[in-house]
């Protein structure tokens, strides 16, 4: 038996204000059968020292700090380090409901044929943190489930993976900037057993003022066309929100200059703390007030 039922994996670089909030929430919710794996990309903002201290206190279970080729490379390291039956990606600037994640965890443990669970998603920006949008890929999942399309897209922020299913679906493609977009197409195209949770286990936080990947828009367009052809993806961008379109185009290639003080040192601003307090409360409340269901590729069942 695996020592851990779930591995929470984090890949991070120079995002200390966000990382502290995310890890504080995770550590306060961690259970004995769960581990934390962190891959740091040789941060220079204090993240490396902060993580080393947590590791020495045995608060995080596995930790390395070294240079990465790109984000996909870092996340792949973390997935290969994970020891849990399940793997849950924790993005350092997004928000997670651990009660909802554990509902997904228990469902997967009780249904060992399930490779991947995805859920509904919420999205927002720090600049307008009280405006939170609900996102769903359920219509696309249903079309895929019925065999009407060979593939569909979804965000990895709310995805749980069975570790042994990596033998089927593989790791992130390190040649793709839009790594989660390509990964979702591949997972669905390979006919992995996906289950859909109608609750919300994550809230995606976007920073539109710091997007930098648009400078390589020609590469993104080329990669998109290549993946659409290979995975026979018909496309449904007219049904995706503006936030989702932007996320597909630029991924999470972000800097945080807005949150630096005049001397260049990053600080955990009051604005960030206020926004994230609101995010966690909102996500918890929406899950507490709902009657949510798991829909598998084969049957419908209620939690």
105-120 pLDDT, tens per residue? 999 999 999 999 999 9
Show me where the domains of the chain are located.
6-302
**d(C-alpha 21, C-alpha 209), whole Å:** 21
| Per-residue model confidence (pLDDT) at position 88 | 98
Find the radius of gyration of the CA atoms of the chain. Answer: 18
Helix (H) or strand (E) holding 9: strand 6-12
Look over the chain and give the mean of its residue pLDDT values, rounded to a whole number. 86
pTM attached to this predicted model? 0.88
Predicted confidence band at 129 (pLDDT cuts at 50, 70, 90)?
Answer: very high
Query: Domain 6-302 maps to which CATH number in 3.40.50.10190, 3.50.50.60, 3.40.50.880, 3.90.550.10?
Result: 3.90.550.10
| Per-residue model confidence (pLDDT) at position 221 | 80
Do 200 and 121 touch, CB atoms closer than 8 A? yes
**d(C-alpha 39, C-alpha 54), whole Å:** 13
User: What is residue 88's three-state secondary structure?
Assistant: strand
Res 39 pLDDT > 70 = yes
Give the least confident one: 18-22, 122-126, 147-151: 122-126
């Amino acid at each position: 038996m695996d020592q851990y039922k779930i591995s929470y994996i984090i890949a991070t670089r120079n995002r200390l204000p966000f990382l502290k909030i995310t890890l504080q929430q995770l550590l306060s919710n961690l259970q004995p059968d769960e581990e934390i794996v962190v891959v740091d990309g040789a941060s220079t903002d204090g993240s490396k020292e902060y993580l080393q201290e947590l590791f020495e206190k045995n608060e995080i279970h596995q930790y390395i700090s070294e240079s990465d080729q790109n984000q996909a490379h870092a996340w792949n390291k973390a997935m290969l380090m994970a020891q849990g039956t399940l793997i849950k990606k924790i993005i350092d600037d997004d928000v997670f409901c651990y009660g909802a994640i554990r509902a997904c965890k228990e469902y997967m443990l009780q249904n060992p044929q399930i490779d991947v669970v995805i859920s509904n998603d919420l999205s927002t920006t720090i600049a307008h943190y009280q405006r939170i949008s609900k996102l769903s890929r359920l219509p696309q999942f249903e079309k895929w489930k019925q065999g009407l399309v060979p593939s569909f897209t979804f965000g990895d922020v709310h995805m749980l993976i069975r570790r042994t299913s990596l033998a089927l679906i593989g790791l992130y493609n390190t040649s793709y900037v839009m790594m989660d977009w390509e990964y979702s197409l591949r997972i669905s195209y390979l006919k992995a057993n996906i289950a859909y949770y109608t609750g919300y286990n994550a809230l995606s936080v976007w920073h539109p003022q710091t997007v930098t990947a648009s400078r390589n828009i020609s590469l993104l367009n080329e990669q998109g066309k290549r993946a659409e052809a290979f995975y026979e993806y018909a496309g449904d961008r007219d049904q995706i929100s503006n936030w989702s379109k932007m996320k597909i185009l630029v991924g999470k290639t972000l800097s945080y200059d807005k949150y630096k003080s005049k001397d260049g040192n990053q600080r955990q601003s009051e604005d960030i703390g206020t926004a994230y307090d609101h995010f966690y409360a909102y996500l918890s409340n929406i899950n507490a007030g709902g009657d949510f269901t798991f829909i598998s590729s084969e049957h419908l069942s209620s939690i």
